Amino acid sequence: MPDILTVDETSYLYFLEQNVSVPLKSGVGVIRANVYRPKADGPQQVTWPVIVTYGPYGKDIPYET
């Protein structure tokens, strides 16, 4: 499954990368992640804070309380 990059050119100030392959620390297998990154002016080597959620039912299913 290829990675998908979506760029919102209108109102949102972020890039959305869908189905990004993230290798497991063990070196066996990958997980798929959706990555939201800010559209930043300036150098690309900027470090940003990260929020991670993880659940057993798939990354594209909304969470409810």
Structural domain includes residue 45: no
Burial track 26-37 (b if 16+ CB lie within 10 A, e otherwise): eeeeeeeeeeee
Structural domain includes residue 28: yes
Question: What pLDDT, on a 0 to 100 scale, did the predictor assign at position 10?
Answer: 65
Query: What pTM value is reported for the model?
Result: 0.59
Structural domain includes residue 32: yes
Structural domain includes residue 21: yes
Question: What pLDDT, on a 0 to 100 scale, did the predictor assign at position 30?
Answer: 87
Structural domain includes residue 29: yes
Tell me how many domains the chain contains: 1
Express each pLDDT in 5-62 by its tens digit.
Answer: 666 566 667 778 888 888 999 999 888 888 888 876 655 666 777 777 777 777 777 7
Q: Cα(55)–Cα(63) distance, rounded to whole angstroms?
A: 9
Question: What pLDDT, on a 0 to 100 scale, did the predictor assign at position 38?
Answer: 80
